[in-house]
Amino acid sequence: KLCLFRLSDHMAPEAKGTGPYSQLTHEELINLLEKQKQQLSQKDAKIGELELYIDSLLVRVMEESPNILMSLNPPNHVTSCTV
C-alpha cells in the first residue's frame, strides 16, 4: 500500500502559510534564492574592491605622511610623581 502525504500537513501550525514567502511557488522561491545569491556575490566583490582600495590608500599614507597616523594615536605621556 502506497502512503502519500503533504508536507504542509506535517508542519507546525505557525509555519503553515503565514510567512512572507508562503504564497510563492517552488520555482519563485528558487528564482528568489538565485537572485539573492547573485546580489551577495556582487556585494562580496564590492567589499573586496573596497578592501584593496583601503590597503593601497593606507600604504600611500604610510609612505608619504606617516605623521597623520601618529596623530591618531598620541603617545601616552607618563608623569612621575614623588611622594
Task: Please state the rounded mean pLDDT for residues 53-62.
Answer: 96
Is residue 8 pLDDT above 70, yes or no?
no
Asked if 22 contacts 30 with a C-beta cutoff of 8 angstroms, the reply is no
pLDDT at 6 (0 to 100): 60
C-alpha distances in angstroms, 74 versus 21, 44, 57, 65, 69? Answer: 53, 35, 21, 15, 9
Is residue 62 pLDDT above 80, yes or no?
yes
pLDDT at 10 (0 to 100): 53
pLDDT at 53 (0 to 100): 98
Minimum mean pLDDT among 23-27, 36-40, 72-76: which range?
Answer: 72-76
Handedness of CA 24, 25, 31, 36 (dihedral sign): positive
- CA gap 49, 43 in Å, rounded: 10
- CA gap 78, 71 in Å, rounded: 18
